[in-house]
Structures are given as C-alpha cells and as structure tokens.
Amino acid sequence: MTQRILITGAAGGIGTLLRPRLRRPDRILRLLDIAPLPPPQPDEAVELVHGSLTDPEVMAAACRDVDAVLHLGGHSRENSWRETLSVNIDGTHTVLEAARAAGVGRVVLASSNHAAGFREVADAGPGGLPADSPPRPDTYYGVSKAAIEALGSLYHSRFGMDVICVRIGSCFERPADVRALSLWMSPDDGARLFEACLTHPAPGYRVVWGVSANTRQVCSPDEAAELGYLPEDDAERFAAELPPGEQHRYLGGPFTTAPLGIPN
C-alpha cells in the first residue's frame, strides 16, 4: 500500500537533504513550506503544498490521507521571543492538532541539542548524555524545542499518537567546526534515523539523539539504536580539514552565549 508522509519545512536545510533520501517506490512525500519548493523531478512522487504550518486550515488540508508527519518546520536558530512562540511552539501545536484531527498515527518532531544546550559535555561519561536528559535550554530557540517535546508527550499520552522527538545535533553535508565532530549527523544517517522513526512498529513516545557514529560522541547512541537506527558515518574523517578549535564546556556551544532573542 502506498504510504504518504507529510514533511513540514521541506524547503529548509534538513528537508532539502532528506527529500531525495526518503524516496521509496511505495511512498508519496507531501512537502509543505512557505518558501518555494523545487519542482518534482521526473518520476519523483511528491505533492507540493505552499503554506504556513501556523495556519490551521492549511495544516488540516495538508494532513488529509497522511500516514505520518515529519515536522521539520519552524525557525531553526535564535529569533525573537514572539516569533519563536508563534512559529515554533504555537506552530507545532497547530501541526499536532491537525494530525490528531486527521487521524494521523505518527508524528516525528525535529527537536534539537539546544533543548539541552546547557548540559555539560564533561558530564557525558562513557555512555554519553542520555537522550531524555531533562531540558536545559540555551536560547529561546532551545526553550521552543523543549516545549515541543512536552507537547509531543501530551499528544501521546492523551491521544495515543506515536511521537518521536529527535534532538538533532548538527545536520549538514559536513561538520562545520570542532564542536560538530561530536554532534554531526550526516545527511545519510539523518535519512536512516528518520526512516527508523517512520518504520518502527510501535515507538510510543520517545526522545532520541540525532547524531552519527562519531568518534568524539557525547550523546548516548542507545535510545536511537532501540528504534533500529544504525548510523554509518563518523565526523572524524573531516577532523584534519577543520580549523583548530576547542570543545565547548556546554553541549550548545556558541548558542549558550549568543544574545537572547536576536536572530542569528
């Protein structure tokens, strides 16, 4: 049977990396964004929706006939409190509410390491920081990610929805700096992890880290492994190419000192 997956924020960085990687013969990707989306490739089974995840009518229509939602949309960095509240927190409520009303059984939420950005790297220990370490946000952005994890938990407990919160480390083609040698999630591993989130038979509610199998790992791999995620990449192969730098005291690195509420 054909499966339909709605991806919010599909024109963003991670959405763009995942779009070709989540293609399956028996799958339609419904891609939603307020930004323009590249037109379908030949033989690409996609549906493009231009609209805002903060609009309940847009989301109600977008969730129709959908099997799962991959909610990547929202501000991906620090912004004003008003914007963060409206787009990230209220917007995620709108997404979850539309999914619930449409009977969508599974929602995967893009959380972030910044929900726990004030966790100390030195506390990681040999097993790494647990994925469900209580929030210690480093920014308004981090607060919004902690809040959406709580919203996801509520929608699981009240409505039985499967909700997986992925505390994404740093997902780019290659690690940007020394800090990312610990937190990098390669695009291919990102696809492996989101695929595991989509295919696990009964995940319930859980929080997992979204990172590759990095030599300098500070995040526990166990919770994502329980989902069936087997990362294959390691940021270490880029280490020699990166400018020298020190590991930060806190997981959130520069976010922990960036001014609050100022877009960066």
Interface residues toward ligand 15L, by CB under 6 A: 76-77, 112-114, 168, 170, 180, 183
Among residues 142, 143, 149, 144, the alpha carbon closest in space to that of 165 is found at: 149
Q: Which amino acid is at 174?
A: R
What is each CA distance from 183 to 11, 63, 137, 211, 263, in whole angstroms?
23, 32, 16, 6, 22
Taking the least distance from each CB to ligand 15L, the nearer of 62 and 183 is 183
Q: Give the HSE-up count for residue 39: Cα atoms under 13 Å, Cβ half-sphere.
A: 1
In the complex, minimum distance from the CB of residue 115 to ligand 15L, in angstroms, rounded to a whole number:
9
In the complex, minimum distance from the CB of residue 262 to ligand 15L, in angstroms, rounded to a whole number:
15
CB atoms within 10 A of CB 232: 10
Q: What is the radius of gyration, based on Cα positions, of the chain?
A: 17
Distance, C-alpha 82 to centroid of its chain: 21
∠ CA(48), CA(111), CA(213), 5° rounding? 100
In the complex, minimum distance from the CB of residue 93 to ligand 15L, in angstroms, rounded to a whole number:
20
In the complex, minimum distance from the CB of residue 3 to ligand 15L, in angstroms, rounded to a whole number:
27
Taking the least distance from each CB to ligand 15L, the nearer of 12 and 221 is 12
Taking the least distance from each CB to ligand 15L, the nearer of 12 and 98 is 12
For 108, the token pair is: 């995967």
In the complex, minimum distance from the CB of residue 157 to ligand 15L, in angstroms, rounded to a whole number:
26
Taking the least distance from each CB to ligand 15L, the nearer of 63 and 124 is 124
What is each CA distance from 195 to 6, 145, 169, 187, in whole angstroms?
13, 21, 17, 12
From the candidates 141, 155, 229, 250, which is the catalytic residue? Answer: 141
Taking the least distance from each CB to ligand 15L, the nearer of 101 and 122 is 122
Q: Give the HSE-up count for residue 170: Cα atoms under 13 Å, Cβ half-sphere.
A: 22
Instruction: Please confirm, yes or no, whether 140 is among the known catalytic residues.
Output: no
Question: For tokens 């300098």, what's the residue?
Answer: 216
In the complex, minimum distance from the CB of residue 255 to ligand 15L, in angstroms, rounded to a whole number:
7
Q: Give the HSE-up count for residue 232: Cα atoms under 13 Å, Cβ half-sphere.
A: 6
Taking the least distance from each CB to ligand 15L, the nearer of 104 and 175 is 175
**Catalytically active residues, by annotation:** 141
